[in-house]
Structure 1
């Protein structure tokens, strides 16, 4: 998110897995901008609205991005919107305490869907580098979309971690994402959506839309992920290795690896000194 984006990000490796995967590729955002399809770029240029959603109660939910390949289950969401003192309805923002409003940001727009609170914040798709001024893709995270985890897992299995385990994970994610997409459609059908259990009617842990309110499609996300994987710098971690990235010029992500092997990489953020 732009309000919390550091200027630099550093990594330091103390233990590297001997198996495949576990890398931290750097994504060239200048090359991504040049590589994105023109029709997608035209629609994204006005900006996006992204939300990290909160459920009505903490718990485990059937959400693709919450799938944990380490234990082949779903990660628990430990916080609900009640933590912020919110109440569903038009007066939600007014019902929140000043401390809660400062916590989520005063530029956040609240919305509600099937009991979930969606906290939408504006995000530019393209922005100038704060020093050089060159236009860069800002690094839209595909996991803001319900299909993003599956899209990246396809490329992980094809290029980054060609193991049987990763093929199994990708297959499971394909099934989970397929079921989740069908459930999303059913919630829009009058008389059927309300029959579904509440945990199946969630919008997911995150939501995204274009600036004009139109949807970001699964095809959009797949094409963005393809550009990320086509324009990256990769290296294999070794103990003692230290890497610093310009966090505007480069994005990054982590490739999957067998959790049975130890991997320890520390992360630190930094900002440019004010002149």
Structure 2
């Protein structure tokens, strides 16, 4: 990829309603190929100024652009509520908390290739969904750090506690231990049933992937997001006091189980932030994201902010 081509990218690429062109679905059907091209080049497309038609219209956007129905939210790591069908709320975290940049479900063996966000109610202040081009994140990371992760991969360890965080029944959508065991076996997740009804899982994944369309190398993982030091310092201290490192609800390591130095994770956070861009939500905005090109997050906010989310196009 030439520097000129990189410089021509815009994140997100805005497609705004033009005078006399209010028909969103006519535009999507007519220009679908161009929108897909922009998505694969820029990493995200923002559709702005159109009448979407509520959640039903949003679901239709997903089906029109992806050519398939939305995916179910499986192997959950954060609380969401179902709005309708396979359209969900964005992560139900308190408004004063930041959600750090990440690629959706990159800790899984199969992930959604395309994400959709729909602004039902914009926040009163802040509340943006910042984006970061993970090709740029990859380029900013110190080569020695990249090489270490490419060689050793990364591991996420999750401990499911009945009285804290996402419980395993909710994460896997079933209370059947045998079904969970089979699910994990099929997806290269090591499991350990603990005590009466506790569960620990370990999954080792690649930190760097090759984008299936462009062939570019992308920094695609949850190694930074799930690491304890990425939490708010007060929250991290409280979790460590309550659980100790071995029982944390989630934490990350190198793929061989070695600890990732705190300064390395700080460097990764700096790379994400340096590559990130933001914009303010407007009512009826629809954001379409190539999940392997752009990480997303959430700013703290005030007001009633309501963003719907859908996922499509499994990676395998």
Q: CA deviation at 1:138?
A: 0.6
Specify whether residues 273 and 211 from structure 1 end up closer, same or farther in structure 2 by C-alpha distance, changes over 3 A only: closer
CA distance in 2, matches of 1:272, 1:111: 27
Residue 301 of structure 2 corresponds to which residue in structure 1?
257
Residue 282 of structure 2 corresponds to which residue in structure 1?
238
1:108 aligns with 2:189: yes
Specify whether residues 234 and 132 from structure 1 end up closer, same or farther in structure 2 by C-alpha distance, changes over 3 A only: same
Q: Deviation digits for residues 59-99 of structure 1, max 9, x if unmatched?
A: 14xxxxxxxxxxxxxxx4444799454xxxxxxxxxxx2x2
Residue 140 of structure 1 corresponds to which residue in structure 2?
222
1:43 aligns with 2:148: yes
Matches within 5 A, 1:1-275: 1-19=107-125, 21-46=126-151, 47-55=153-161, 58-60=162-164, 76-79=165-168, 83=175, 85=177, 97=178, 99-106=179-186, 107-111=188-192, 117-150=199-232, 174-178=233-237, 180-181=239-240, 183=241, 199-201=242-244, 203-258=247-302, 261-271=303-313
Q: Deviation digits for residues 104-131 of structure 1, max 9, x if unmatched?
A: 3431123578996321112111010011
Specify whether residues 84 and 217 from structure 1 end up closer, same or farther in structure 2 by C-alpha distance, changes over 3 A only: farther
CA distance in 1, matches of 2:313, 2:271: 27
Q: CA deviation at 1:103?
A: 3.0
Residue 155 of structure 1 corresponds to which residue in structure 2?
none
Higher strand share: 2
Specify whether residues 200 and 214 from structure 1 end up closer, same or farther in structure 2 by C-alpha distance, changes over 3 A only: closer
Q: CA deviation at 1:4?
A: 3.3
For structure 1, the 5+ residue unaligned runs are: 61-75, 86-96, 151-173, 184-198
CA distance in 2, matches of 1:41, 1:113: 34
TM (norm. structure 1) is: 0.65
Checking the alignment, whether the CA contact within 8 Å between 2:110 and 2:314 is kept in structure 1 is no
Checking the alignment, whether the CA contact within 8 Å between 2:210 and 2:216 is kept in structure 1 is yes
- Size of the alignment, in residue pairs? 203
Equivalent position SS for 2:156: strand
Checking the alignment, whether the CA contact within 8 Å between 2:155 and 2:223 is kept in structure 1 is no
Specify whether residues 237 and 251 from structure 1 end up closer, same or farther in structure 2 by C-alpha distance, changes over 3 A only: same
Residue 192 of structure 1 corresponds to which residue in structure 2?
none
For structure 2, the 5+ residue unaligned runs are: 1-106
> Which one has more relative contact order, counting CA pairs under 8 Å at least 6 apart?
1
Checking the alignment, whether the CA contact within 8 Å between 1:9 and 1:268 is kept in structure 2 is yes
Superposed CA RMSD in Å reads 2.8
Q: Deviation digits for residues 204-249 of structure 1, max 9, x if unmatched?
A: 1113221222112322222111111110221100001111111111
Checking the alignment, whether the CA contact within 8 Å between 2:223 and 2:253 is kept in structure 1 is no
Checking the alignment, whether the CA contact within 8 Å between 2:112 and 2:315 is kept in structure 1 is no
Specify whether residues 17 and 224 from structure 1 end up closer, same or farther in structure 2 by C-alpha distance, changes over 3 A only: same
TM (norm. structure 2) is: 0.57
CA distance in 1, matches of 2:134, 2:223: 12
Q: CA deviation at 1:273?
A: 10
Of the structure 1 ranges 36-45 and 229-238, higher mean CA displacement relative to structure 2 is found in: 36-45
Of the structure 1 ranges 46-55 and 241-250, higher mean CA displacement relative to structure 2 is found in: 46-55
